[in-house]
Amino acid sequence: MDDKLKKVFNFPSKGLLQSKELYEYMLETSVYPREPEPLKELRELTANHPNAQMATAPDAGQLMSMLLNLVNAKKTIEVGVFTGYSLLLTALSIPEDGKIVAIDINRETYEIGLPIIKKAGVEHKIDFIESLALPILDQLLEDPHHGAGSFDFAFVDADKVNYWNYHERLIKLLKVGGIVVYDNTLWGGTVAMPDELAPEEMKQSRQLTIELNKLLAADSRVQISHAPLGDGITICRRIY
């Protein structure tokens, strides 16, 4: 990551708070002391990966874990696994007979975290599918028994260009009352910057994120909360 990008993301902390110190304070005070041991291990293992910044921020993860518990999530979908931080936290948050359909185009990165997932005793909850996500979501929608209206929770953290396509499918796959969380919806804070100030390599996703945020805000099918945790997450609850 070049220096300009590091500055935008306040790297190594991705937080969007007014200072790196404040973000660290929140993590050290409220997040890390409560982080389950296997998740901590996976986070530390991933920190050495060249794309470490892709992992879900632990503060956002902590809220997701609470949301999973609040809706008693048993059946979930994960779009974008990488080394598995959000996947493992989901697996640890759902019951023994819970199931996660986890989709990523890259099995290799999933396998980096897999030994920790196995050691945590939750691999049996995960159905990992190496594929583009869109065709798998379409397949799920065609399943008359386990498809539409059957999922409690979904987390989307993959290619920004497809977020709205994912939303159109996930909103049908979720039960009424189910939740989908979108990651990176503040895109390093660039959504509120004049285009010319945003780093060149962030411009395309910045524009896509701005469009997504408008569409989600106008979608009457969901209740939303745009929370400035991690890199920004938008929580959508299907209301009909």
CA distance 12 to 192: 21
Q: Which does 105 bind (CB under 5 to 8 A by kind): Ca ion, ligand SAM, none?
A: ligand SAM
> Is 209 a binder of Ca ion (CB under 5 A)?
no
Question: Which positions ≥6 away from 180 have C-beta within 8 Å?
Answer: 153, 154, 155, 156, 167, 170, 171, 174, 222, 235, 236, 238
When binding is defined by CB under 5 A, the residue of 65, 86, 184, 185 that contacts Ca ion is 184
Residues within window 131-160 making contact with Ca ion, judged by CB under 5 A: 157
Rounded-to-integer distance, Cα 85 and Cα 61, Å: 8
* Total interface residues for Ca ion by CB under 5 A: 3
3-state secondary structure of 183: strand
Count the Cβ atoms, other than its own, within 10 Å of residue 119: 12
Give me the 21-60 binding string for ligand SAM, x by CB under 6 A, dash otherwise.
Answer: ---------------------------------xxx----
CB atoms within 10 A of CB 198: 21
Q: Which of 52, 92, 105, 148 binds ligand SAM (CB under 6 A)?
A: 105
Give the interface size with ligand SAM as a residue count (CB under 6 A).
20
Q: Which residues sit at the interface with ligand SAM, rule CB under 6 A?
A: 54-56, 80-83, 85-86, 103-106, 109, 132-133, 157-159, 162
